[in-house]
Chains A and B, each alone.
Chain A
Amino acid sequence: MTTKRNRSFLTSLGLLGLVALAGAPGVSAAQDTITLGAAVSLTGKYSTNGQHTKNGYDLAVKLVNDNGGVKVGNKHYKLKVVYYDDESTPARGAQLAERLISQDHVKYMLGPYSSGLTKAMAPVTEKYHIPMVEGNGASVSLFNKGYRYLFATLSTTEYYLKSALELLDEQAKANGKDPHTLRIAMAFENDPFSRDIRQGVIDEAKRFGMKVVVDDKLPPELNDMTATLTKVRALHPDALLVSGHAKGAALVVRQTHELHIRAPMMATTHCDSAKVAQKQPEASEGFLCASQWDRTLSYKGPWFGTAEQFAERFEKAYGYAPPYQGAESAAAVLVFVDAFQRAGSLDPQKVRDAIAATKMQTFYGNIDFDKTGKNIAKPMVLYQIQDGQYKVVAPTRWANAKLIYPLN
């Protein structure tokens, strides 16, 4: 009786499989490849980071393909990525997402570079129920819109400089100082990205009871910070936090040095893209820099192995050390690979559900998406520039160097 029921169950399963195969034209056309779609910025103002993003994707895809591809059910598939250049403009990004899905019949998307472009493309992938895993759209506003098909491997913006305040609180307590007496100066660019960071800092300052004494919003066409820094000189805050992309980082380092302004703690974002440690070694000494990832961290995962092994492989392939944009992009590919394997199916809906259930450690850090699709398992990293080198000082658990504090 039971065997009979089992047999009929199996037959119907086989039939279902046939139906599924017949009903997936994109897949049956390209027999044993899985095609991922991506629009990245290869020209325009994001071209440098767009290239890092593409390199990250390519490196992961090549590694997976060289090692036999992705095993879905009993079949091995190779990965392939269809790229378009979004020219760093959101409108073009949205068009290309549309084109990838409706003309190229792509069923899975990798994210573009920057929050702005991700914001433009997410509504499209959402409309067609196509899962998109991205590693370069950090704006928290991407994750309060109720998107179901958008997942991010990186920490979102509000976390960027939160850890600096945590560190400040730790140091104050260690030095017998009440965190409530601490005063913070901050200058953040007036764009969505930095405004999110600012909100995160303000929340954190409130939590620790610190007082914000300077709160300047830098204009996007920023080219001078003397006025803001003069205020810092007058008020002697305990920390100076700045975020304004690469130009903000380069400027604050240059001008604090020139004006001879030192706060006990100085932190900024985008040190690495502004290359402040290499280009302004003397001026950047002691600065804290927020980063998504570093090669010296002790994370380890499938395919790439450790963070350091990933870095070596990246360096060999492209001739430069991997910026975190490359790492988080490669991690996005790994999320897809893992999800394909666990879903055992190429149905976008099932893959989406598998992605949502991701729980793994990779070379890039732990990945675990919350309900909104952002990765909550990986903390932000803080470097400090010590003797012209980036040394990881936070989170203390993964750090390899000791914080220099206070700076003045």
Chain B
Amino acid sequence: MENLHILFQAPILSLQLLIDGLLIGAIFALVAYGMALVWGVMNIINIAQGEFVMLGGYVAYFLSVAGIHPIWGIPAAAVLMFVLGWAIYRTIIFRIVDRDLFTSILATFGLGILLQQLANELFGADVHTAHSGLKTWFLFDGMVTVAQIKVLAFAIALVIGGLLLWFLKRARLGQAIRATSQNARAARIMGVDTDRVYAMTFGLNAALCGAAGALVAMIWIIQPYLGLPFTARSFMIVVVAGVGNIGAVFVAGVALGVAEEFAGFLLGAQFQTAFVFALLVVILVWRRIWLSRKRRYLS
């Protein structure tokens, strides 16, 4: 209540929370694009999503250690993670792609733990940051601050979302991906190499996560165990937005970012994540009621 009072006294602060929420929400959306793709096309819920983000972050970090500007980490992480994602498909994921959802959750959960521990073993448990060198804009007498790197992240998430939409609609591979997601068997009969489509989809997912990870390293911090919150958030975003809708994923992502910021401010940081998941439950229940109302029975 006291915190609400502060917001009323200084309404400008809610602008700060709104802007920050929108900007970081875009990064959540970037991670969620990939999960939506993999979920929609392959019917796999990738629990290792956050670990891909973490690995992407290390790419940016090691570039900055090597003296290369970490901004280059965004494309570099995307490329490297694409290769890794492709390799993971060829070794692990192709074995579970036709199995039930539970098998895929278990397998990717194990994969997540493996990647965490490998990162811990190879890079150590220390906390790292990469520095973009970008500045902060000050608005309203310094009452509102906007970090340029976050704006860049927002722009990147928006552009990638647009590209993804175009790619799925127009590009040959994009069409194959959509065909496979609609009916894999029919797509196979029509000559689509679904195995290749799956590999590409999984690689693409890892690439998106990698790019997001590079941004995370420049905005927050990276360490081997940062994955879970990103997995959980993208899960939530995809559940709310649906698997086949990139635009909705973006909207749900930024909405989640804003909700987190306000919840953190009003309820305290300890309820930030809890609030978001309470919201998820409410949305799911509400949607179920809504659907059952719309249901028509043939008589």
Contact = CB atoms under 8 A, between A and B. Distances in A.
A363 B241 CA distance: 60
Contacts of B3: 231
B72 interface: no
B100 interface: no
Contacts of A280: 129, 131
Contact of A47 (B17, B124, B127, B226): B124
A228 to B, nearest CB: 5
Contact of B264 (A45, A228, A235, A259): A228
Nearest to B261: A227
Interface string B102-140: 000000000000000100110011111101000010100
B269 A216 contact: yes
B147 A258 contact: yes
B226 A258 contact: no
A48 B270 contact: no
Contacts of A254: 129, 220-221
A164 interface: no
Given A45-B120, A217-B269, A258 B136 contact: yes
Interface stretch (A154-162, A244-252, A314-322, A352-360): A244-252
B146 to A, nearest CB: 10
Contacts of B262: 227
B16 interface: yes
Contact of B24 (A190, A224, A231, A275): A224
A234 B263 CA distance: 16
A235 B20 CA distance: 19
Interface in B201-243: 216, 220-221, 223-226, 228-229
A234 B264 contact: no
Contact of B229 (A48, A223, A225): A223
Nearest to A88: B125
A275 B65 CA distance: 14
A234 B129 CA distance: 27
Given A254-B220, A260-B136, A260-B142, A228 B13 contact: no
A219 B147 contact: no
A274 B124 CA distance: 12
B145 A275 contact: no
Given A47-B125, A233-B143, A274-B127, A221 B228 contact: yes
A247 B269 contact: no
A28 interface: no
A206 interface: no
A260 B125 contact: no
B272 interface: yes
B125 A230 contact: no
A250 B127 contact: yes
A274 B125 CA distance: 10
A250 B221 contact: yes
Contacts of B145: 258-260
B225 A45 contact: yes
Contacts of A102: none
A297 B147 CA distance: 40
A225 B147 contact: no
A206 B142 CA distance: 33
Interface of A: 43-48, 187, 190, 215-219, 221-228, 230-231, 233-235, 246-247, 249-251, 254, 258-260, 273-275, 279-280
15 contacts: A47-B121, A47-B124, A190-B270, A215-B268, A222-B269, A228-B265, A228-B268, A230-B17, A231-B6, A233-B13, A234-B10, A247-B221, A250-B129, A273-B127, A280-B131
Report, nearest first, the 10 A-B pairs whose CB atoms are least far apart: A227-B264, A217-B270, A227-B265, A246-B127, A216-B269, A221-B229, A250-B127, A250-B221, A45-B125, A258-B147
Given A226-B17, A226-B24, 8 more contacts: A45-B120, A45-B125, A187-B269, A216-B269, A221-B228, A258-B136, A260-B145, A273-B127
